[in-house]
Chains A and B, each alone.
Chain A
Amino acid sequence: MDTKQILHLAKLARLELTDQEIETFPGQLANVLDFVRQVEDIDVSGVETRDFTIVNIMREDENPFETGEHREAILDAMPETKDEYLKTKKIL
């Protein structure tokens, strides 16, 4: 893993790295990936992954909260608001 790849990955993850991170991350991530690769050739034919057959459990959407019950707490947590709206930079 080289610097170029690390910077690409950081971009995909919406991260900016410090100079020190740019220097240390390639080696550190490569070590972890090498460690992980020790299991890439283990034969798993015949093993059915049940994870894809696990079912979603849903519940009825009943007894909704009173409108506005949590509004204040949620607004309080927002870094920037205007009136009762969340304020962000424009997207377009």
Chain B
Amino acid sequence: MSITLQTLTITEAHKALLAGDITVRALVDMYLAVIEEKNEELNVYLTLHTDIDDQVERAQQMFTNGTATELTGIPCALKANLMRKGQVANASSRILENYQATYTATVVQKLEDQGVVFLGATNMDEFAMGSSTENSAYGATKNPHDVTRVPGGSSGGSAAAVSADMALCALGTDTGGSIRQPAALCGNVGLKTTYGGVSRYGAIAMGSSLDQIGPFAKNAVDARIIWNAIRGQDEHDMTTISNDYWDTTVNKDVYSIAIPEGFLDGVEPAVLEVFNTAVLKLEQAGHSINRVPMPSLTYGLPVYYVVMPAEVSSNLARYDGIRYGKQVLGDTLLDTYVKTKSQGFGAESKRRIMLGTYVLSAGYADKFYTQALALKEKMKQDLEEVYKTYDFVLTPTTPTAAFKFGEKSSDPLQMYLEDIFTVSANIVGVPAISVPMGTVNLDGSDMPVGMQFMGRHSEDLAVLDIAEKFENL
């Protein structure tokens, strides 16, 4: 049996491994060969894990002794802000350049227990701040569909890995769209899980009220396999919710879907055209689709740019050059802090730390932070109303397809607008998925674009289900 990586899914790879048509070694070697061939140009992996051979052997053993699962032997990429003991986890920052994880993240442990083979740490925007990987201290990742364009971000390396056949699946983190936006721009499925659904223990924190870990996969079925493996309450992450909480009875034959009226005005015409065609297909398949005014969605991005930097300024304060990571010695302790941070953090990290410092400072905290928390609550209430009638809120994942390097990097606000459709799911804590909806032609390259289904809290299975239904149309 011959294996074609481009069309390979977890389900098919598992069948081949189980039947003995291919060994774990051979499968992993196919991916390593592609990495060898493409990584220099695409800059997807920062480092490869040093124990791949051991992992391969352990996975093959699970097939021999009958303990293999659907995920055993599946080659997976790991975003560089997720920790695997002994491996580099630098969050694409200079301040953690030689840092090796001292413990393993819960999600990674869960996948390791099933025999997943982790190939390496993927490039990202520094500390997950950005939408293009241009904020990485180790150079940007290139979009496999057109190397003059960005892969999206912040999990751009993980998204590109799956699209360039440098891994069969990947894990990323999503604070404001960092899984869904690169998934859309690279042409794969990306799931932002319900807040609290998946443990963040071992993820390098950015915005703790927003961060979630989730999968990149070739299709919704594969994404569900990974989601099922990584979810669940964890005593190491007190924000995880009880396993009893999941609503697993949400699958319907047809769904009611709301498109926010007037909210798509900024979408590029070519993207909107693909979106409208996709919407038509959903309608023809029997799903009911209505345009519904949802004014509070427009609060999403402004609220995000208060809450997120506030949390960033607090989370990144721990990098002081004393206990781990980079150290630049100064004359005094304070001088060491300042020199380490100033030389360790890139410009975007500095901007967001300062924004956070500003919105939390005396005299401004009420005006910005308290107002943002109130608006977050209002968004929750308004969306709960919408979800009484509708199963999903549907938008394009991004207003544009992949843009060129340098196109938005000089204007932070332009870059932030990339996340206009994705941030709301993080703010209110609901699950959302990006699924490929077609391509737009840009200067001769067919660039993928995605659509986003945002579902009710704890109904991750429903967003996976509608994504699968859409894929099958």
By a beta-carbon cutoff of 8 Å, the part of chain A in contact with chain B is 6, 9-10, 12-17, 21, 25, 28-29, 31-33, 35-40, 42, 44, 47-51, 56-59, 70, 73-74, 76-80, 86, 88-91
Contact = CB atoms under 8 A, between A and B. Distances in A.
Contacts of B374: 44, 47, 49
B266 interface: no
B342 A32 contact: no
B373 A38 contact: no
B373 A51 contact: yes
A17 B355 contact: no
B241 to A, nearest CB: 10
A77 B324 contact: yes
B23 interface: no
A38 B298 CA distance: 10
A56 B72 CA distance: 37
B357 A9 contact: yes
Nearest to B240: A57
A48 B377 contact: yes
B302 A78 contact: no
Contact of B354 (A6, A47, A59, A78): A6
Nearest to B370: A49
The dominant DSSP class at the A interface is: loop
B464 to A, nearest CB: 27
Contacts of A78: 322-324
Contact of B357 (A13, A48, A56, A88): A13
Given A44-B374, A77-B102, A86-B322, A39 B302 contact: yes
B252 interface: no
Interface residues of B, number: 60
Given A9-B358, A32-B412, A90-B333, A16 B235 contact: no
Contact of A79 (B301, B322, B332, B368): B322
Given A17-B350, A39-B371, A77-B99, A12 B302 contact: no
A15 B324 contact: no
Given A78-B323, A89-B332, A35 B354 contact: no
A66 to B, nearest CB: 15
B281 interface: no
B15 interface: no
B321 interface: yes
B302 A35 contact: yes
The dominant DSSP class at the B interface is: helix
B306 A36 contact: yes
Contact of B350 (A21, A40, A74, A89): A21
Nearest to A37: B302
Residue among B339, B354, B361, B412 with max Cβ neighbours from chain A (10 Å): B354
A80 B327 contact: yes
A79 B321 contact: yes
Given A14-B338, A49-B374, A88-B333, A36 B368 contact: yes
A56 B238 CA distance: 8
Contacts of A74: 102, 323
Interface in B171-214: none
12 contacts: A6-B354, A9-B354, A13-B354, A14-B334, A14-B341, A15-B350, A31-B413, A40-B367, A47-B375, A49-B377, A51-B377, A89-B331
B419 to A, nearest CB: 12
Contact of A32 (B326, B355, B361, B377): B355
A73 B85 CA distance: 10
A47 to B, nearest CB: 5
A21 B346 CA distance: 10
Contacts of B342: 15-17
B346 to A, nearest CB: 10
B469 interface: no
B353 interface: yes
A59 B77 CA distance: 33
Residue among A13, A33, A40, A73 with max Cβ neighbours from chain B (10 Å): A13
Given A35-B413, A40-B367, A50-B377, 11 more contacts: A13-B341, A15-B342, A21-B350, A25-B354, A31-B412, A35-B301, A36-B359, A44-B377, A70-B103, A74-B323, A88-B336
Nearest to B328: A79
Nearest to B320: A14
B381 A77 contact: no
Contact of B339 (A16, A31, A77): A16
B33 interface: no
Contacts of A90: 333
Q: Which 5 A-B pairs have the closest CB atoms?
A: A79-B327, A44-B374, A77-B324, A16-B342, A89-B333
B8 interface: no
Given A16-B338, A21-B347, A88-B322, A29 B358 contact: yes
